[in-house]
Every structure is written in structure tokens, then in C-alpha cells.
């Protein structure tokens, strides 16, 4: 009986590791394929010969991508938007989640009902656009920050964590003369660091990949974030390829490699940020899920 249990335990462990390995391969193989394409010559790409290793190794795609000022300007815009929006979102989310986590807040249940209703039934695009336009945010980075100041899911996760903390911590601080702001700043936030960093990661990734709001609200090309610039570049490349004549083939050489290089360059900041946040990621999610 013991030997039989040991066999099934090892078999289940094998299946778990096999499943994890398959999922890991599904995630990493497309990324490796993109890297191989970005360092390859154009003819092997067009012939479909590139899989996980480049052919005709070349840095031409990256050199062409970085030659113009447009790419670096869009990169800078994305950095400014991501840092500014994440800072504003974390402040607003924290200031919303903490009061709602206190049972003595008047009208707490009604406020939560309104927030959840908005989460289930978000506003439609036309009135949302008209509201942003009427308050004068069109063609401003604030149009990408203020209307998206609080993500309801992130706020509920943070609120749940605040509720899971022992109330005695707050009571002892109040007895010592601390006000609500001091309790939040000196007692609650240091204890909530894992979940705060996890939500910061959520916001940062969403802001870095911002796409549709920038298309709707930003018309000035000098203010467009990186993702929109890459969309426009890839779209124009595809259009040029479809309408190219035989005389234009020389001019269009390297387009596929350039597409892959642009995708990789746009992913670098998040790839660098993930290792820093990874140690807090699982812990933060679990802490925020202790209590509803």
C-alpha cells in the first residue's frame, strides 16, 4: 500500500512538473522566436526559415530603429506617462481603499455598492469621451492619467488587505495620539508593502502598454506613447509592403526584422522591472486575498 501511494505521488508530481514545463515553453518560445527574427536577415524571414535561432545575423534592424528621433521621443513619453500615472493611481487607490476598509466609515456599504456597480457596468465610450473633452483634457497626458486614477479590482485587493490587519494596531496608535493619516502613513503602509508593490506592478504594466486611450485622447504625434508609435509604424510597413512595386523591394528590405526589434525594445522596461517585483508578487496577492 505504501509503495502504491509512493508511485501515485511521484506520478502526480511528474504531471505537475510536465504541465508547468509545457506552459513555460508556450510562454517563452514565441519570445525566443521574436528575438531570432530581430537579429536575422530579411530573406530567411520572408522564406519562413526562422524559428529559434537567427540566420544572417545582423544588428541592422536595431540600428534603423534607433536612428530616428521618433522612437526615442515616444519612449520618453511612455516613461513619463507610466511614472506619473502609476504615482497618481497608487495615491488615489490607497486613499480610497483605506477608508473603505474601516467599519466605522458612515455609508461604507453604499459606497462599495456604487463602486462595484460601476465596475460591472462601466460608462460607454461616447459619454466618457465627451466628459474628458469638456473638462479640457484632450491632447493632454492628464487624459491618460486622471480618468484612470483608480482601478476597482486593485482597490478591492488593497482594501481586503487593510481589513485583514489586526484592529489593535490602529487602536494602539490612536491611544498614543495618532490621527487617521498618521495611522495610515506610519502603521498601515509599512505593513502593506508587499501588496502595494504588487499593485504598483499591475498599474505600471497597464500604463506602459497604454494604447486605446492614447488613440482616443492624444492627437499630437509628439505626445503619443510608444505603443501607438509602434502601431503606426507597423501599420505603415504592412501597407507599404502590400502596395510595393518591384522597384520598391530594395527600399522595403528589413521590415520584418524591424517589426520584431521594435516589439522587443518596447518590452525591455517591463522585463527589467519584473525581477524586482517578483519577490513581492505572490506574497502580495495572497495577503490581499485573506479577507473579503
Question: Residue 57, exposed/middle/buried by CB under 10 A (0-12, 13-18, 19+)?
Answer: exposed
Asked if 88 and 16 sit in the same domain, the reply is no
pTM, full prediction: 0.81
Asked if 78 and 201 sit in the same domain, the reply is yes
| pLDDT tens-digit readout, 17-59 | 999 999 988 888 888 888 888 888 877 877 778 888 888 888 8
Greatest extent of the chain over all pairs of C-alpha atoms, in Å: 82
Asked if 135 and 229 sit in the same domain, the reply is yes
| pLDDT tens-digit readout, 186-204 | 888 888 888 898 899 889 9
- Residue located via cell numbers 526562422: 50
Task: Give me the chain's average pLDDT, please.
Answer: 82
Asked if 183 and 242 sit in the same domain, the reply is yes
pLDDT of 291: 44
Asked if 240 and 174 sit in the same domain, the reply is yes
Mean pLDDT on 129-138: 90
Asked if 120 and 180 sit in the same domain, the reply is yes
pLDDT above 90 for 285: no
Cell numbers linked to 264:
522587443
Does residue 57 fall inside a structural domain? no
pLDDT of 27: 84
Would you tell me how many other CB atoms lie within 10 Å of the CB of residue 180?
A: 14
Asked if 110 and 19 sit in the same domain, the reply is no
Asked if 18 and 156 sit in the same domain, the reply is no
Residues of the domain holding 226 = 63-288
pLDDT above 70 for 288: no
Does residue 56 fall inside a structural domain? no
pLDDT greater at residue 167 or residue 204: 204
Does residue 55 fall inside a structural domain? no
User: For the chain, how many structural domains are there in total?
Assistant: 2
| pLDDT tens-digit readout, 56-115 | 888 888 887 777 778 888 889 999 999 999 999 999 999 999 999 888 888 888 998 988
- Residue located via cell numbers 498601515: 188
Helix-, strand-, coil-residue percentages of the chain, each rounded to 5:
75, 0, 25
Amino acid at each position: 500500500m505504501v509503495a502504491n501511494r509512493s508511485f501515485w505521488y511521484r506520478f502526480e508530481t511528474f504531471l505537475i512538473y510536465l504541465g508547468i514545463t509545457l506552459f513555460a515553453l508556450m510562454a517563452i518560445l514565441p519570445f525566443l522566436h521574436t528575438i531570432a527574427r530581430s537579429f536575422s536577415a530579411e530573406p530567411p524571414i520572408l522564406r519562413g526559415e526562422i524559428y529559434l535561432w537567427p540566420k544572417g545575423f545582423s544588428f541592422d534592424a536595431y540600428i534603423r530603429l534607433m536612428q530616428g528621433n521618433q522612437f526615442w521621443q515616444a519612449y520618453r513619453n511612455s516613461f513619463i506617462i507610466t511614472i506619473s500615472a502609476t504615482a497618481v493611481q497608487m495615491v488615489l487607490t490607497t486613499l480610497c481603499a483605506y477608508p473603505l476598509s474601516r467599519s466605522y466609515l458612515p455609508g461604507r456599504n453604499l459606497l462599495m455598492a456604487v463602486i462595484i456597480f460601476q465596475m460591472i457596468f462601466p460608462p460607454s465610450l461616447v459619454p466618457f469621451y465627451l466628459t474628458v473633452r469638456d473638462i479640457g483634457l484632450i491632447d493632454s497626458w492628464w487624459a491618460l492619467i486622471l480618468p484612470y486614477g483608480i482601478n476597482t479590482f486593485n482597490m478591492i485587493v488593497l482594501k481586503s488587505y487593510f481589513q485583514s490587519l489586526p484592529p489593535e494596531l490602529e487602536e494602539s496608535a490612536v491611544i498614543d495620539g495618532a490621527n487617521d493619516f498618521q495611522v495610515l502613513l506610519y502603521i498601515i503602509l509599512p505593513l502593506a508593502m508587499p501588496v502595494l508593490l504588487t499593485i504598483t506592478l499591475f498599474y505600471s504594466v497597464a500604463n506602459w502598454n497604454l494604447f486605446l486611450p492614447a488613440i482616443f485622447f492624444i492627437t499630437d504625434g509628439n505626445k503619443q506613447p510608444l505603443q501607438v508609435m509602434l502601431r503606426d509604424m507597423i501599420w505603415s510597413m504592412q501597407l507599404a509592403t502590400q502596395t510595393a512595386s518591384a522597384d520598391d523591394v530594395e527600399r522595403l528590405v528589413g521590415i520584418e526584422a524591424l517589426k520584431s526589434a521594435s516589439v522587443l525594445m518596447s518590452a525591455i522596461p517591463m522585463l527589467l522591472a519584473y525581477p524586482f517585483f517578483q519577490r513581492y508578487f505572490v506574497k502580495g496577492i495572497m495577503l490581499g486575498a485573506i479577507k473579503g
